[in-house]
Amino acid sequence: MCMNTVTELAKKVNPCQRNFDLTQSIPQEHIDYILQAATSMPTKDNSNSYEIIVFTKEEHTRKLLDTAFHYVDMQGNKRALYCNGQVYSRCTILFSRPKNNDKKSSDESDMMIGIASASAALAAAELGYATGFCKCIHNKTINKFKKSIGLEYVSNPRLMLGIGIPNKNFDRHDIVIDNKSVNRKEARPEKNISITFA
């Protein structure tokens, strides 16, 4: 069977890239193309249902790394701090809900963020970049970071997408800080999405 291009790109987007070569910046025309892909997707009633912030400075994405952590259960019920290396890139896109969302429009914003971010990731893959999504965002820490760089008006960060060239010295599962692997997140089991023809 002949696979079409979107399917091939989607297969490239599926695995989460958890480290990037930070010496390689992304040209502005590539970033513009990725953003155009994101913002060309439909939103309900053509509403401005999400906001995008693009981080391209390493000093900023290093700080994003501190905002994208969670605790994982280890053997013996110990809990370990685990950070999401995929946000530490040379281009990380943050998708936020706009201010004053009620419950209904918040749910809708999350749908639109899903649609737009998928399109961004496909465009990045088309340009030859690896990507990693992250929804794990620590509100208190990101609010402090936003404030420190004058972005306090960004209201409700929901999803980040790291984009870049993989760090060739490491496996994609390695979370790399200062050129050392500080942790790993192994690939999740294959998904098996239920499809019913009715």
Ligand X SMILES: Cc1cc2nc3c(=O)[nH]c(=O)nc-3n(C[C@H](O)[C@H](O)[C@H](O)COP(=O)(O)O)c2cc1C
Footprint of ligand X on this chain (CB under 6 A)?
14-16, 84, 133-136, 159, 185, 187-188
Please tell me the number of Cα atoms within 13 Å of 19 on its side-chain side: 21
Specify the residue, 130 or 159, whose C-beta has the smaller distance to ligand X: 159
Distance CA 137, CA 116 (A): 18
**Amino acid (1-letter code) at residue 1:** M
Report, in Å, the least distance between residue 69 CB and ligand X.
10
Specify the residue, 62 or 184, whose C-beta has the smaller distance to ligand X: 184
DSSP-H helix ranges across the chain: 5-13, 28-39, 58-67, 103-126, 139-148
Report, in Å, the least distance between residue 13 CB and ligand X.
8
Asked if 166 and 125 count as a contact pair (C-beta separation under 8 A), the reply is no
Report, in Å, the least distance between residue 116 CB and ligand X.
12
Specify the residue, 33 or 69, whose C-beta has the smaller distance to ligand X: 69
Report, in Å, the least distance between residue 196 CB and ligand X.
22
Distance CA 80, CA 95 (A): 27
Specify the residue, 16 or 120, whose C-beta has the smaller distance to ligand X: 16
